[in-house]
Amino acid sequence: MASGFGAPIDDNVDVSAGKYFNTDIPIGKRPIDDADLHNQRKRRRSQSCELTSDDTNDVRNTTSISTIIKAVERLSTEPRLVADGSRENVLTTTVGKHNDLNAITPQTMSDVLNGVYRNQIDHLTIVDCRYPYEYDGGHIKGAINLYNKQAIKEFLDNTVTSPNKNHVIIFHCEFSTERGPKLYRLLRSLDRELNAELYPRLNFPEMYLLEGGYKEFFQTHKEHCFPQSYMPMLHKKHSEDLRHFRVKSKSWAAGDKPRQKSRVNGSGTRLCF
């Protein structure tokens, strides 16, 4: 016999009076009376209505995972969005050496300093990741010198941000090939950890890397530099300074895990960090 819901019902089931129960009683067991059926149904109803704390946590975790999946899907299909998905990037990006990071050209950096984006950027921080003797030998006007892990941590801990303000950060080092990208990724990683319970929220969702670094920028836009000079990291005058800062850099990097490659989703779209 077939039910109205498309599922077969056994011929030994009585569906009269709008309810059914199995009339095929197992051999060797006493018949189930009405009182037993009532108690069994009552127990089943009670059990089905009880939610343990683990059940509640499972529901919360499922909701959280669902939110994360939706956020990742949105960020992977809309590359113009900042890293928390709250808005689009203000600056035009370019294809750089590190395709998991947002990169800008020296010309775009110059446009920022010339006020082209003054109505779109509420606060700008330029992070110069070179060693102090390089920074002192010439840097972009207004840049701050953060060249190690501790400085990045303190910057994150001590900088007040607001979701209503567009705070843009631009990283660079001499060539923007190693130190700048490394500290860019570090700040993003620490920011993710800080906001882990509120993913994809970030304190600093909009960050960029100056492609070509200070060297290339100085060659074409030295009017934005102070003093108007360029001190290479490998200058023989600062060989002792270089040794000193490299030792310090290795000491704080020793405990870091190797950087994972940027992930690629099923469609082949590379997710920006």
**Annotation says 173 is catalytic:** yes
- Dist. CA 217–CA 211, nearest whole Å: 9
Catalytic-role residue among 49, 129, 173, 225: 173
Beta carbons within 8 Å of 87's beta carbon, 6+ residues apart: 81, 166
> Apex CA 34: angle with CA 32 and CA 36, to 5°?
60
* Both structure tokens of 217: 């920028």
Question: Please, what is the end-to-end C-alpha distance for the chain in angstroms?
Answer: 59
- Dist. CA 168–CA 140, nearest whole Å: 16
- Letter string b/e over residues 210-232, b meaning 16 or more CB atoms within 10 A of that residue's CB: bbbbbbbbbeebeebbeeeebbe
Residues labelled catalytic: 173
